[in-house]
Amino acid sequence: MRLTGLSRVVDTSNRIQRLLPADMNPIEPELLSNGFAFRPGAVIQKWLGPGWTGWELFAASWNALGEDRHMADGGRYRRRRYAVFDVTGDGIVRAPHQPHFQAKTYNRLNGGLDRWFDPVMPEIGDHPILRTLVERLTSIFTSLPSAKTSSVGWHVELHQFRIEASADAVGLPTPEGTHRDGVDGAFVMLINRENVSSGITHVSDASGISLGQFTLSQPGDAVFLDDKRVFHGVTPIEPLDARKLAIRDVLVITFTRA
């Protein structure tokens, strides 16, 4: 049966499958209750409204990502670009290009050093989809308990990722394993998925108990994460057709109180 307007989440904590009418439910209560919320692409488009425009140009920019040269496992399967934005009461301002840093606590594989990546192209940093996402996500993540501080500003990091896999090498969307990012809120949205087997997203609590799993399979499919409460990871990808490259493109936006 084809499910329209519903998000399918496997809730392994209760050993049941729930069908959530995602286009009818606000995101914040679910995020506060469960620590995460999945929404299908059609719902994300409605949520962004007029801001969802110019998708072809936006998605095509993932074809121009540079190789990630900081993979401690020696992998050549990840491409990316990076940008930082400051969000204050006065609006959204792109910060000067800078390195990305994660403590070893959050990234056992590649943490503990400044990592420089190619910058997000200006036309993508200013794109209506991205700008609208940052505006809407600011509102969403302000509801998190960890965001209830005297600060009103946000340090926002944007990552364009492409994971590739071939018959000779799997691709690892989360090579550091199940993890937290060391931020307040995180958002992951699928841009493109070609010739991919697996790539299942799973969410767990701090004790390792699974809270749910799902596959970002259609453009716009997305998950909202309370990074202070839950861990997330994605299973390795392989090509469905061994003669062709497998590609998984995602946008990741993280929010940390400034």
Domain boundaries of the chain, sorted by first residue: 7-257
Q: What is the pLDDT of residue 152?
A: 81
Residue among 257, 207, 251, 253 nearest 230 (CA): 207
Q: Is the pLDDT confidence value at 225 over 50? A: yes
Q: pTM, whole model, 2 decimals?
A: 0.87
Q: Is the pLDDT confidence value at 134 over 90? A: yes
73-77: list long-range contacts, CB under 8 Å, 24+ apart: 73/109, 73/172, 73/175, 75/169, 75/172, 75/175, 76/169, 77/163, 77/164, 77/165, 77/169, 77/170, 77/171, 77/172
Digit-coded pLDDT (tens) for 163-181: 999 999 999 998 888 999 9
CB 227 within 8 A of CB 180: yes
Digit-coded pLDDT (tens) for 2-36: 333 333 344 433 322 333 344 557 899 999 999 99
Q: Give residue 100's pLDDT band: very low, low, confident or very high (50, 70, 90).
A: confident
Longest dimension (CA), the chain: 55
Superfamily covering domain 7-257: q2cbj1_9rhob like domain (2.60.120.620)
CA pseudo-torsion sign 26, 28, 34, 37: positive
Digit-coded pLDDT (tens) for 51-85: 999 999 999 999 999 988 866 666 788 899 999 99
Residue among 189, 159, 184 nearest 85 (CA): 159
Q: Is the pLDDT confidence value at 160 over 90? A: yes
Q: What is the pLDDT of residue 174?
A: 87
CB 203 within 8 A of CB 234: no
Digit-coded pLDDT (tens) for 102-114: 666 655 556 567 7
